[in-house]
Chains A and B, each alone.
Chain A
Amino acid sequence: MIEVVSADRCVQCDVCIKVCPTDVFDRGPDGLPAIARQGDCQTCFMCEAHCPTDALYVAPFSGPAPAGSPHTDEAALAGAFGEYRRIVGWGRGRTPGSRADRNHIFTERLRTAPRNP
């Protein structure tokens, strides 16, 4: 689930509010996106991919991270911000990740592999 909005990184562009398919965010009084309905988060990582300044962190769990979890601690997570957007290949000067896609290998394998009993 979405756990962290970095106030330092966020430029208040509202993109995450707009793109979240399950409408998790509201614009807070300070202009920052507030995680208003965390329970509706479907852990799809789309907000992370779209955030232009790598200001969001979606923890990999489908339930809320427990209090004190490192997955809610911005400082501990520094390296993880923007990771998914980088892999998708979005942002200035990057190559779309789809250029390197190897999904067809697995489709092929599924087609030809002997099935498990």
Chain B
Amino acid sequence: MNELTADVLVAGGGPAGAWAAVKAAEAGASVVLADKGYLGTSGATASAGTGVWYVEPEPAARETAMASREGLGGHLADREWMARVLDQTYANMNELAEVSKYPFPVDGDGRQIRRGLQGPEYMRRMRVRVRRAGVRVLDHSPVTELLADGSGAVAGAAGYHVREDRPFSVRAGAVVLATGGCAFLSKALGCDVNTGDGALFAAEAGAELSGMEFSNAYAIAPAFTSVTKTAFYSFATFYRSDGSVLEGAGSRRGRSVIARTLLSEPVLCRIDRATPEEQRAMRLAQANFFLPFDRQGIDPFTDLFPVTLLAEGTVRGTGGIRIAGADCSTTVPGLFAAGDAATRELICGGFTGGGSHNAAWAMSSGTWAGRGAARYAAGLGGRAAARPVRALGEAGVRPSGPAAGGHAEHVAAVQAEVLPYDKNLLRTGDRLAAALASLDGTWRELRGTLREDGAGVVRARSAAAMAAHARWMYNAALARTETRGMHKRLDLPEQDPAQRRRLVTGGLDEVWTRPEAGALAVAS
């Protein structure tokens, strides 16, 4: 066992975790960052190209930016949080230019255009910055459970060094969960590390989740490939195999038409509405978008190619750990959440779709969580490492009955309920209830038996996290008896003004959902 101590432990090394680590260190904390993969390549941002919600601090522009998405998000966002994120994102993007020398493109007047970031370049530079800040980085070292002191305050975490094949623990004053969303191992670009681990850890510590019904993101990709880039498909036309146009299909609202059609027949696509200039721009935006085409000899602008929809769950959904304070604290002392692991409803309500808010949230919430955690740890004085602790992990590490392996079967059982379009995307009360019943069965079984030795603990815990995530999603989706944001109930297609409030979800063996009390008051 490798035993470490730090003021702040950051779990996850995507943009949210990287910013959290930098800002905690700049605030004077000693920081350990542990990532399941590798800080710099791991997570949803590292392999993609992201638009960023970067708006000049001019009142009119800010007002337009905030107003533009309120309706889409079902009016669940909060103006104060939006304004804070716009300010913080503006500052962080400028830091990227000045401190990290991120090579932004320049416009005709030589001014940098700071509205997008290419994942590989961004995260490579964040790794450099994190290390320069003196953070101790543990790669290939997934966290597997939290540690708490006698009062229930979070006091560190345990994990596993996968490449060294040995466990580790970090005793810390505070922990930031920045483990990303949950895409259920769908093989969507960059997302297989995102199995919702942080939400499970948080729930075991007693934290709550919010917006879990906004968890049915699906992205368009060429069939049999991983490469998603939703934005480019707004230039596409979709066809049936006989060459007729698939009416109503599109990358935004029309995604459910694509899903419904894919249930019974292939859907073909051609990106035939992009001008030559736009085509060139696409090549320069997300560099790997064209690899699947070029490597198969397909010209996506002139040839028809089959498409699929890949589940991105809460990666491009908005549900996650509920935030209780401006410093991204949770309801559990010593526990902070950032990025996709946290709910993004505060700035985009029930819809994120075409990007840019997610990246802005990741860097802003990471900044606040890092500073908040450093402050909390400092407040403990020297006591942090002396506290007696207990490990909080249950499902997948401490089964209630005799242990058995079998994570793969549990993962398959969860995937069978969350990946199919006719269960998660095209939602009805009946189908959600049936899927939830099956998931509850999977949970009971794995709660009773699942444990795997050595590095197997990582896969077992990921399986448990996905099962928990799926149950929170469908419990919340059943509780929201209307259509709002990305949560579309085919059986309840109208928005119900009485349900304009967020839903809080929690629990492990017994899952519950209730309306959030009074929180929208600050928004009006």
Q: Which residues of A contact B (CB under 8 A)?
A: 18-23, 40, 42-46, 49-50, 58-63, 71, 80, 83-84, 87-90, 95-107, 109-111, 113, 115-117
Contact = CB atoms under 8 A, between A and B. Distances in A.
B225 A97 contact: no
Contact of B115 (A96, A107, A115): A107
A50 B123 CA distance: 12
B354 A107 contact: yes
Interface stretch (B73-81, B100-108, B440-448, B469-477): B100-108
Interface residues of B, number: 70
**Most chain A CB within a 10 A radius of its CB, from B51, B193, B295, B354:** B295
A97 B251 contact: no
Interface string B249-264: 1111110000000000
A104 B193 CA distance: 27
B51 A103 contact: yes
Contacts of B281: 102, 105-106
Contact of A46 (B46, B191, B254): B46
B192 interface: yes
B292 A22 contact: no
B33 to A, nearest CB: 15
Contacts of B254: 116-117
Contacts of B296: 60
Interface in B11-48: 36-38, 40-43, 46-47
B38 A88 contact: no
A87 B285 contact: no
Given A59-B295, A60-B295, A98 B192 contact: no
Interface stretch (B208-216, B226-234, B381-389, B480-488): B226-234
A101 to B, nearest CB: 5
A77 B165 CA distance: 35
A62 B285 CA distance: 22
Nearest to B107: A104
A60 B291 contact: yes
B226 A43 contact: yes
B253 A71 contact: no
